[in-house]
Amino acid sequence: MSSEKPTVERRSYRKIIIGGVVAAVIALALIFGLVFGLRHHKSAGPDTESFAEPWNNASQFLLSKNFTITKTPTTRYYEWNISQQTIAPDGLERPMLLVNGMFPGPLVEANTGDQIVVKVTNSMVNGTTIHWHGMYQNGTNWMDGTMGVTQCAIPPGQSFTYNYTVANQWGTYWWHAHAASQYIDGIVGPLIIHSPDEPYLDQYDEDIIMMVSDYYHTDSGALVAWYLSADSQGTEPVPDNGLINGLNTFNCSGDANALFPTGFKCSDGAPLASFDFKAGLTYRVRIINSGSFADFQFSIDDHMLTVIEADGIDMQPVAVQRLPIHVAQRYSVLVHANQTVGNYYVRATMNTNCFNTPNPALNPNVQGVIHYEGAPVTQDFNSTDWTTSSWSAICIDLALDMLHPYAAQAAPTPDVSYEINFAFETINQAGINLAYVNNTSWSPLMTDATLFQAQRGVTLFDASQLIVTLNSTNVVELILNNYDEGSHPFHFHGHTFSVLGWGGGSYIPGKTVLELDNPLRRDTITIPSFGWTVVRFVNDNPGLWTLHCHIDWHMEAGLLMQFESLPEQIKKFQIPSELTAMCGAK
Ligand SMILES: *[C@@H]1O[C@H](CO)[C@@H](O)[C@H](O)[C@H]1NC(C)=O
Ligand SMILES: *[C@@H]1O[C@H](CO)[C@@H](O)[C@H](O)[C@H]1NC(C)=O
Ligand SMILES: *[C@@H]1O[C@H](CO)[C@@H](O)[C@H](O)[C@H]1NC(C)=O
Ligand SMILES: *[C@@H]1O[C@H](CO)[C@@H](O)[C@H](O)[C@H]1NC(C)=O
Ligand SMILES: *[C@@H]1O[C@H](CO)[C@@H](O)[C@H](O)[C@H]1NC(C)=O
Ligand SMILES: *[C@@H]1O[C@H](CO)[C@@H](O)[C@H](O)[C@H]1NC(C)=O
Ligand SMILES: *[C@@H]1O[C@H](CO)[C@@H](O)[C@H](O)[C@H]1NC(C)=O
Ligand SMILES: *[C@@H]1O[C@H](CO)[C@@H](O)[C@H](O)[C@H]1NC(C)=O
Ligand SMILES: *[C@@H]1O[C@H](CO)[C@@H](O)[C@H](O)[C@H]1NC(C)=O
Ligand SMILES: *[C@@H]1O[C@H](CO)[C@@H](O)[C@H](O)[C@H]1NC(C)=O
Ligand SMILES: *[C@@H]1O[C@H](CO)[C@@H](O)[C@H](O)[C@H]1NC(C)=O
Ligand SMILES: *[C@@H]1O[C@H](CO)[C@@H](O)[C@H](O)[C@H]1NC(C)=O
Ligand SMILES: [Cu+2]
């Protein structure tokens, strides 16, 4: 490869042309309003004790001490019904796509070795799938839940039962729809795996989840239609708000100035997520970025965060004041409740520098509340942000040399190395901006899955599918080159990869210094703006695995490729007939 990047046209700031689209969205909003009979949202006010809404199960984010962490396997059985319902996470009522009427959706909690069985009934108008983000699915690739890759969508009115065993992993994961842009509309939830082998089990008293995400008031289908039209000129939809565990407040007068005004019914003063702390205890806080676009900087006023886990891999402890967390990444941090009894803000601040345009409705400073036992119950208090650590103006991960896995492993030596280049280009006459991985812009197969094709022995896939076939169990190196001005959080299904290095500019093989002794391992890594990232993985998990940007708008624009791992083993898969039958169903 060359040591210099070719010149790429920058996606400069572009003024958004919304005109007709806004009108269309408002019309859509009115239709939703009429059809789904918006109810009046009663603001719960500042009282932290009464913030539970019927659709928000706050208790599931406080992991129960009654859960037995054991090596004796069991089956965890769940029944889910996904439907469209109108709720108001931040006070503004909008139709969302919800599992069992809950937002965020139900917690899945299990031990390593357990079987997870989830019967999913699709009561929506569109087909859907559920992906278990970070699960290896070793030997059950067809349970990965990736539409057009490992299955066809579960048709409206039908059910499908996901059924897989968790092996060789524990930690903080999540699940989400992996069909079109549906997860943006609410189909997300936490997935926590425990094990008696976890190294930090005896170092905390309580275990809690904080899901942080960006949030849109407009149905994602309408936003995708705009994004993939010439009107957007490649500018991603910018969120209207952000949420912690599905909650935040919104200044309703902002809706009129939003990039996409909704006109929906709205109440000011919706409550923030609140967490009760007891002085002297230590909390494991599991932070999950379940959003679709924004990179956050996470902090808790006056409380240090000791990072102990990244994407399911235990880390050697490292203390930070602020933690950058990009889309689909997870961290566990230990927090000592050792400050004066009082109230403290949790801050999840969106890095708006990484948006191409402002959204006047957006307050990027998303907050939650840490309420110490004995302090007044209020959401109106003064605690101040850290002043001793600076803010990263660019969207990048924690420096690589800060994160070292607890179970040290040297980087595996590669048998094969692939260069993979990606960029956004406006190439077609319609002026639509699409994403290309080595010149292929992905779009999902709608009536087949590449896994099923591989099983049938297909070797020449559709031109919309960039698939690298890996015939043998060996170590694969990927040199990922980002020819775009944005940074992109890339997720690899079915694996954790070792991250040997990343940076701006070009990677020069043999010259750029890589971390080989005990590199970071995780499943989602941010590839910097006009930069590179080198990862390696062991190709020992048969199936069709996607490697894609987890900014959902970018995946919709085609920023996805696949690996066909061990095709001879794929041919021997016993794929349940219920799964293949869904490809024909209408
Ligand atoms: C709320 O979460 C808890 C803990 O996961 C669970 O036991 C309970 O069934 C949930 N309630 C609802 C209404 O989903
Ligand atoms: C946990 O177990 C205790 C004792 O068995 C019981 O009293 C309590 O209700 C349980 N808590 C939950 C959340 O199930
Ligand atoms: C799923 O939810 C929808 C909407 O609430 C309801 O009409 C339907 O009966 C539910 N189906 C099942 C199988 O529970
Ligand atoms: C997947 O399973 C194969 C065969 O049992 C095993 O050799 C391999 O180590 C497993 N990989 C992972 C990531 O668990
Ligand atoms: C899940 O799969 C296992 C085999 O891996 C099977 O024994 C079990 O019956 C399945 N459970 C359901 C509910 O489908
Ligand atoms: C159904 O899918 C279409 C096409 O992707 C999309 O425009 C629409 O918004 C979706 N409807 C719902 C309710 O999600
Ligand atoms: C909401 O925004 C309006 C317009 O910017 C402003 O006048 C008002 O003070 C804000 N309300 C609150 C509660 O912040
Ligand atoms: C509180 O704990 C943190 C470690 O999490 C430590 O750095 C800090 O010094 C402690 N502060 C007090 C007041 O004990
Ligand atoms: C917070 O500080 C402001 C400005 O110093 C003050 O007006 C306000 O009363 C304080 N609020 C509380 C709850 O202490
Ligand atoms: C991607 O393109 C580069 C440059 O042409 C080439 O060297 C590389 O082999 C391609 N990678 C794949 C996976 O096809
Ligand atoms: C992509 O296509 C362009 C134009 O056809 C060509 O110049 C370039 O080399 C291709 N890049 C890759 C990585 O294949
Ligand atoms: C993988 O195996 C197939 C079938 O034997 C062969 O056609 C192909 O060239 C092999 N690919 C590589 C990269 O070795
Ligand atoms: Cu991206």
Q: Quote the ligand 9 centre to 515 CA distance (angstroms).
A: 48
Q: What is the pLDDT of residue 30?
A: 38
Residue 151 has pLDDT above 50, yes or no: yes
Q: What is the pLDDT of residue 52?
A: 58
Mutate to test the pocket of ligand 4, among 136, 475, 540, 572 (most ligand atoms within 8 A of CB): 540
Strand partners, 351: none
Q: Which ligand is nearest to the CA of 553?
A: 13
What is the mean pLDDT of the segment spanning 272-298? 98
User: Beta strand pairing status for 75-87 and 115-122?
Assistant: parallel
Q: Is residue 530 part of a domain?
A: yes
Q: Which of the four pLDDT bands, split at 50, 70 and 90, describes residue 465?
A: very high
**Nearest Cα residue to atom 5 of ligand 11:** 439
Q: What is the pLDDT of residue 584?
A: 81
Q: What is the pLDDT of residue 47?
A: 36
Tell me the three-class secondary structure of 505-542, residue by residue. Answer: CCCCCCCCCCCCCCCEEECEEEECCCEEEEEEEECCCC
**Nearest Cα residue to atom 5 of ligand 10:** 438
**Nearest Cα residue to atom 5 of ligand 2:** 66
Is the Cα torsion angle 350, 353, 357, 363 positive or negative in sign? positive
Q: Quote the ligand 2 centre to 78 CA distance (angstroms).
A: 20
Do 327 and 184 meet the contact criterion of CB atoms below 8 Å apart? no
Residue 582 has pLDDT above 90, yes or no: yes
With residues binned 3-state (H G I as helix, E B as strand, rest as coil), the percentages for the chain, rounded to 5, are: 15, 35, 50
Ligand 4 atom index nearest CA of 541 = 1
Averaged pLDDT score across all residues of the chain: 91
Do 206 and 230 meet the contact criterion of CB atoms below 8 Å apart? no
- Percent of the chain scored above 70 by pLDDT? 90
Q: Quote the ligand 3 centre to 58 CA distance (angstroms).
A: 23
**Nearest Cα residue to atom 5 of ligand 12:** 471
Q: What is the pLDDT of residue 194?
A: 98
Is the Cα torsion angle 361, 85, 446, 189 positive or negative in sign? positive
Q: How many helices (H) does the chain have, and how many strands (E)?
A: 6, 30
CA 308 – CA 314 distance, rounded (Å): 6
Residue 574 has pLDDT above 50, yes or no: yes
Q: HSE-up of 195 (CA within 13 Å, CB side)?
A: 17
Mutate to test the pocket of ligand 3, among 36, 80, 83, 102 (most ligand atoms within 8 A of CB): 83
Tell me the three-class secondary structure of 306-337, residue by residue. Answer: EEEEECCEEEEEEEECCEEECCCCEEEEEEEC
Q: What is the pLDDT of residue 585?
A: 59
Residue 23 has pLDDT above 60, yes or no: no
Q: What is the pLDDT of residue 394?
A: 86
Q: What is the pLDDT of residue 34?
A: 33
**At CA 360, angle to CA 359 and CA 362, rounded to 5?**
70
Q: Is residue 411 part of a domain?
A: no
Q: Quote the ligand 5 centre to 224 CA distance (angstroms).
A: 37
Residue 245 has pLDDT above 60, yes or no: yes
Q: Is residue 484 part of a domain?
A: yes
Q: Which ligand is nearest to the CA of 538?
A: 4
Q: What is the pLDDT of residues 483-510, one digit of tens each?
A: 999 999 999 999 999 999 999 999 999 9
**Nearest Cα residue to atom 7 of ligand 5:** 163
Query: Number of structural domains, the chain?
Result: 1
Ligand 7 atom index nearest CA of 268 = 13
Residue 44 has pLDDT above 50, yes or no: no
Residue 80 has pLDDT above 80, yes or no: yes
Assess whether the C-beta atom of 321 lies below 6 angstroms from ligand 8. no
Assess whether the C-beta atom of 338 lies below 6 angstroms from ligand 8. yes
Q: What is the pLDDT of residue 53?
A: 86
Mutate to test the pocket of ligand 4, among 135, 136, 138 (most ligand atoms within 8 A of CB): 138
Do 25 and 262 meet the contact criterion of CB atoms below 8 Å apart? yes
Q: Where are the beta strands (DSSP E) in 102-226?
A: 108-111, 115-122, 130-133, 159-165, 171-177, 188-194, 206-215
Q: Which ligand is nearest to the CA of 467?
A: 10
Longest distance between any two alpha carbons in the chain, whole Å: 66
Supply the range of the domain harboring residue 531: 416-584
Residue 45 has pLDDT above 50, yes or no: no
97 class by beta-carbon count within 10 Å (0-12 exposed, 13-18 middle, 19+ buried): buried
The least confident of 41-45, 119-123, 405-409 is 41-45
Residue 10 has pLDDT above 80, yes or no: no
SS3 291: coil
The CATH number of residue 477's host domain is: 2.60.40.420
Of 320, 299, 267, 301, which is closest to residue 381 (Cα–Cα)?
A: 301
What is the mean pLDDT of the segment spanning 567-582? 97
Assess whether the C-beta atom of 123 lies below 6 angstroms from ligand 5. no
Assess whether the C-beta atom of 419 lies below 6 angstroms from ligand 10. yes
Distance of CA 288 to the CA centre of its chain: 8
Q: Is residue 314 part of a domain?
A: no
Q: Which of the four pLDDT bands, split at 50, 70 and 90, describes residue 19?
A: very low
- Percent of the chain scored above 90 by pLDDT? 87
Q: What is the pLDDT of residues 185-197, one digit of tens each?
A: 999 999 999 999 9
Q: What is the pLDDT of residue 388?
A: 80
Q: Rg of the chain's alpha carbons, rounded to an integer?
A: 23
Q: Which ligand is nearest to the CA of 251?
A: 7
**Nearest Cα residue to atom 12 of ligand 10:** 420
Assess whether the C-beta atom of 163 lies below 6 angstroms from ligand 5. yes
Assess whether the C-beta atom of 469 lies below 6 angstroms from ligand 12. yes
Of 485, 421, 551, which is closest to residue 14 (Cα–Cα)?
A: 485
Ligand 3 atom index nearest CA of 81 = 1
Q: Around Cβ 272, how many Cβ atoms within 10 Å?
A: 21
Q: HSE-up of 121 (CA within 13 Å, CB side)?
A: 9
Assess whether the C-beta atom of 483 lies below 6 angstroms from ligand 10. no
